[in-house]
Structure 1
């Protein structure tokens, strides 16, 4: 009788453990099984501009507007913010951001802006949507890696100063054409770029629109390592899978030790940048620069 009771208790314990395991799987947000090797992918209805994959202890966020060169619409800004928030809480050791197609990102989708918008309207959209997006990078609690598969423009470049590792294809280029558009640096680049590459080079990039090759960006410290495009995916994922075997909590706490000392400063810089952007949105030179851009684009 005692042996029977013990067997019954063991059976119940096994059932409860199985139920807890299944419950834990369902708690991983927006992830369903569809990838090989037990990978879990977001239901396509969850995101319209992204694909999120959890595999090998890595959460991969893929920007998926290849027809727009992965330009960041307001919807994409919001979805990346949500995806980062979820990735920060899931079981992954690290998170990767990359682009689908030939571009990493062509930056802010200029169709987000209206030249007739008032300063208050621009401040509301920029401050509440784009700044929230940037703050998710500042506050991200785990190692965050950018796999720059192609050209990175505007905020597609400036956001790299807030990630922990930047691996680039040798076909990648980096450009911040703010002055040409009557705009100003964002994503804390007015602080991170001078710190990373020095004041003179940062000025050349942020103010005078210098385009950097992948190797130039690596020499300046913006990019961690450059790989031949033909082997980019294979070589980078080999590294990342090895990193993802490290103890999750140890890795996260080490990243926080390195980064957290500057979080308050970064948030202050972010606020100042977007205050200036909102204030200058309705300025005459900004409006003229955007109008000229769209006129040139229409002629192509």
Structure 2
């Protein structure tokens, strides 16, 4: 999240210092206030406002950017308690003053004011401020666990369960497939998948295992396998450039499908973990093929068989990640680059991807089938049941 704050504040560094020095006090903006202001905006609404902020076409000016920066810091870290920068550090002193001026307002109130301010800016450019402040974007309104938006020829699919670390439920698998189908047929040039909050995705929601344990085991294993098969197929068959913006830790299915993306950008605080074997399971997401191809067999075995968790730098060195960025500047560096990609001729992008991927496509589909078949059998095995039960027991003791 800190990266978003710098995304807003970064333009301040390019302004002449004397112009910032004149901002000795932070004027009070009149916020557009929604009916939910007394309760404060939810985390989901806050994440949506952050996403919408990047769509502004006009520079709102330094004073407004300072207020956005201050509200972001207050919403994510609480009241300012950092030492005041020295008098000669003009830029950071002005930013510190802006944050300090918010006093002791709660993080919930700051989130709401942030949403209201972004909503007002969007409304001033002809958008709907209520849409930003109170609900997901219209294009993603049919999804319960995703935010799906299309701006500047970029369709962004955001996993939107930050309180659950973007764990993937059975229902969410279907939503992601539907969102990919939507993105494949809209007028965007590229598609981006990212996560709301601190995690990219923590993998399967634990409730998926609970449901399987309570129902008819064979039928549930079979149906879960089909859900997984269709989910991975959606990535294999996706026709446009697919880019992962890994904003935090990626676990299980959140890591394995990354081998099917065309680019993977990660913050330096991201980690990558595939804990299948400790749970008596086996690889999925075509990782049994893509990881050895990308990393080499020995390194892939470390990750898939022996539970090695990779740092972002290690994932980059292994070839799984395209580029790693400092968390403080992650968002501000990523999105201008993505917007530049999206300006390229879309048909040329799609046809060139098809050419590059055509060699492996049929093999990937066959690997997916084989992985699902093995996983379905593993889910029904005594070894897997015991491992999952032990996992739940260990969790309950924490």
Q: Displacement of 1:175 after TM fit? A: 0.4
After TM superposition, give the deviation of residue 118 of structure 1 in Å: 4.4
Does 2:273 align with 1:175?
yes
2:216 and 2:317 map into 1 onto residues whose CA distance is 41
How far did residue 273 of structure 1 move? 0.4
Question: What is the alpha-carbon distance in structure 1 between the residues aligned to residue 347 and residue 217 of structure 2?
Answer: 44
Distance of 1:44 and 1:83 partners within structure 2: 9
Task: Kindly state the Cα deviation for residue 43 of structure 1 after the two structures are TM-superposed.
Answer: 5.0
CA distance, structure 1, for counterparts of residue 216 and residue 244 of structure 2: 35
Q: How many residues end up aligned between the 2 structures?
A: 267
Aligned to 2:86: none
Which of 351, 354, 358 is residue 260 of structure 1 equivalent to? Answer: 358
Task: Determine whether 1:73 maps to 2:169.
Answer: yes
Listed as ranges, the gaps of 5+ residues in structure 2 are 1-51, 58-125, 132-136
Q: Which runs of 5 or more structure 1 residues have no equivalent in the other structure?
A: 1-33
Aligned to 1:82: 178
C-alpha displacement at 1:120, in angstroms? 2.6
- Quick check: 1:158 aligned with 2:256? yes
Q: What aligned pairs does 1:254-293 form with structure 2 within 5 A after superposition?
A: 254-293=352-391
Aligned equivalents of 2:353, 2:336: Cα separation in 1: 21
- Partners of 2:284 and 2:216 lie apart in 1 by 20
Distance 1:259 1:231 in 2: 31
Say if 1:81 and 1:136, in contact at 8 Å, map to a contact too: yes
Out of 200, 219, 228, the position equivalent to 1:104 is 200
Contact 2:140–2:148 (CA<8 Å) still a contact in 1?
no
Greater alpha carbon shift after TM alignment, 38-47 vs 64-73: 38-47
1:207-286 correspondence runs (5 A): 207-286=305-384
Query: Please, what TM-score do these two structures have when normalized by structure 2?
Result: 0.65
Match 1:134 to one of 232, 241, 246 = 232
Which piece of structure 1 moves more, 163-172 or 253-262?
Answer: 253-262
- Computed over aligned residues only, the root mean square deviation of the Cα atoms, in angstroms, reads 1.6
Q: How does 1:21-36 map to 2 (within 5 A)?
A: 36=56
Show CA shifts across 1:67-86 (max 9, x none).
Answer: 11000001111000000011
The answer to whether the 8 A contact 1:94-1:142 is kept is: yes
Q: CA deviation at 1:128?
A: 2.2
- SS of residue in 2 equivalent to 1:51: strand
**1:206 aligned residue:** 304
Q: Equivalent residue for 2:285? A: 187
Q: Distance in 1 between matches of 2:141 and 2:312?
A: 35
1:120 equivalenced with 2:218 (yes/no): yes
- Contact 1:49/1:65 (8 A) holds in 2: yes
Match of 1:52 in 2: 148
Asked whether the equivalents of residues 152 and 173 of structure 1 are also in contact (C-alpha less than 8 Å), the reply is yes
Partner of 1:171, secondary structure, is coil
Under a length normalisation based on structure 1, what TM-score does the superposition of the two structures give?
0.86
8 Å CA contact 2:167, 2:204 repeated in 1: yes
Q: Corresponding residue for 1:92?
A: 188
Is 1:297 paired with 2:395? Answer: yes
Cα deviation, residue 115, structure 1: 2.8
Structure 1, residues 215-266: CA drift from partner, whole Å, max 9, x if none? 0000110000000001101101111011011000001101110012211100
SS in 2 for 1:103: coil
Inter-partner Cα distance in structure 2 for 1:142 and 1:226: 23
What displacement does 1:130 show? 1.6
Q: Is the 8 A contact 1:115 1:290 kept in 2?
A: no
Whose strand proportion is higher, 1 or 2?
A: 1
